[in-house]
Amino acid sequence: MAKLHAIDYLAKPDKYPPKPVCVAFGDELFLRRQVLLGLRHAVLGSDEADFSLTSFEGRTAEFRAVVEELTTIAMFGGQRLVVVDEADEFVSRYREALEGYIARPGRSGILLLDVKSWPSNTRLYKAVDAQGLAVDCSAPAVAKLTRWLTEWAKQTHKSQLSLNAADTLVELVGPELGLLDQELAKLALMAGNDKKITPEMIQKLVGGWRAKTTWEMLDLALDGNAIEALRQIDRLLAAGEAPVGLLAQISATLRRLAAATRLILQSESAGRRIGVGPALQQAGIKSFVLQKAERQLKRLGRKRGAQLYRWLLEADLDLKGDSQMLPRLILERLIVRLAAPA
């Protein structure tokens, strides 16, 4: 069965009814939560059916207790839903038992696993793929993300969002779906009777001084002014900005600089030559900031430009729990790397 992505599931949940074992997996927490809510509604229906819902924490859940809940008859009829939240450890401990359960699932309950990692080369993955329902909640590509935003605005916030406006929103906020949804909710309230969210509205209302300060902070770092860039980070964090959100906002620009560097290096290795300006344009840099971006990439240099993807991935993983460093220090480390002399 082809992999089912959360965006496709959320667009038409009725097309994918719950199976005895369901899995929401991936690194995008917002999508996992939306899929969990969608499956919960599909199994239980109204809020009154919460009597038929049982939740376990994956770190402490025992397989026997989970199965007992799955085989217990629902109080008011219908099916029971048993959710194991953050179930990565649970899956690791009881992989063989889960494989056995999927082969002969209980009839009265639906098991829903919420996991971050779900490797496709395991017997458990293949068993769920054949007998259950697995929804991929990984972060979508930017092109797919903007299309999803237009549908999400219509479906959830009852507003019209054009692809151009969606692109502007992603440019300002970054590809962090939870933050994008929050901004959409605010914009929907500000939209007029026609419920149209325009690029001009987004430019005016999203982020305000914080968005402006974020771009100024990145420009300062890329121009080599580490001290002022670090002061701007301090100001943004003091104002309540989330470190993950700040990284998401600056990542879009840095990924384009990284893509331009890769184009230049690939062209040279193939015996061709491409200028910095054309490479930046191919990477998606807008014409009105092209001159500034060209200056910044030249200062950054090809060696550091080639490391941008690795630095961004490292910062993202560290902010999401792979490091014991304070979030502020993770951001400051990235800024110092960008601002250091070539």
Question: How distant, in Å, are the alpha carbons of 9, 138, 296 from that of 39?
Answer: 10, 17, 47
53 and 100 co-located in one domain: yes
Catalogue the E-assigned strands of the chain: 4-5, 21-25, 53-57, 80-85, 109-115, 133-136, 160-161, 196-197
Q: Between helices 209-222 and 226-238, what is the axis angle to 10°?
A: 160
- pLDDT score recorded for residue 16: 95
Question: 3-state class of 189 per DSSP?
Answer: helix
Classify 53 in phi/psi space as left (phi over 0), alpha (psi -120 to 50) or beta: beta
Cα–Cα distance for residue pair 25/218, rounded to 1 Å: 33
CA atoms of 16 and 143, how far apart (whole Å) = 24
Residues 213 and 316 in one domain: yes
Phi, psi of 99 (to 5 degrees): -60, -40
**Same-domain status, 103 and 153:** no
Rounded to whole angstroms, the maximal C-alpha distance in the chain is 72
| pLDDT tens per residue across all 342 residues of the chain | 568 999 999 989 999 999 999 999 998 889 999 999 999 999 888 655 567 889 999 999 999 999 999 888 765 556 889 999 999 999 999 999 999 999 888 777 899 999 999 999 999 999 999 999 999 999 888 778 889 999 999 999 999 999 889 988 887 777 778 878 888 988 888 887 888 998 888 877 776 556 667 888 999 999 999 999 999 888 888 877 788 888 888 888 899 999 999 999 998 888 888 999 999 999 888 777 889 999 999 999 999 999 999 999 999 999 988 888 999 999 999 999 999 886
User: At 98, which CATH number?
Assistant: 3.40.50.300
Is 130 in the same domain as 152? no
CA 281 from centroid of its chain's CA atoms: 26
CA distance 116 to 82: 18
Verify that 226 and 196 share a domain, yes or no. Answer: no
Q: Distance (Å, rounded) from C-alpha 289 to C-alpha 171?
A: 13
Same domain? For 181 and 251 the reply is no
For residue 284, what is the domain's CATH number? 1.20.272.10
Q: Are 305 and 285 within one domain?
A: yes
CATH number reported for the structural domain that contains residue 198 in this entry: 1.10.8.60
Q: Which residues contact 68 (CB under 8 A, 6 or more apart)?
A: none
Q: How far is CA 316 from the centre of its chain?
A: 11
Alpha carbons 238 and 231: distance in angstroms, whole number: 11
Same domain, 151 and 131: no
Global model pTM greater than 0.75: no
β-sheet bridge partners, residue 57: 85
The C-alpha atoms of residue 264 and residue 302 are separated, in whole angstroms, by 9
Picking from 165, 187, 205, the residue at the C-terminal end of a domain is 205
The whole domain housing 148 covers: 142-205
Based on the fold, state whether residues 106 and 178 are members of the same structural domain. Answer: no
- Do 175 and 80 reside in the same domain of the chain? no
Q: How far apart are CA 65 and CA 10, in angstroms?
A: 30
Query: How far is 304 from 68, CA to CA, in rounded Å?
Result: 55
Say yes or no: 227 and 327 in one domain: yes
Which is it for strands 133-136 and 4-5: parallel, antiparallel or unpaired? parallel
Structurally, the chain folds into a number of domains equal to: 3
Q: Which of 205, 220, 242 is the last residue of a domain?
A: 205
Residues 77 and 164 reside in one and the same domain: no
Predicted confidence at residue 278, as pLDDT, reads 92
How high is the pLDDT of residue 178? 83
Residue ending a domain, among 136, 151, 169, is 136
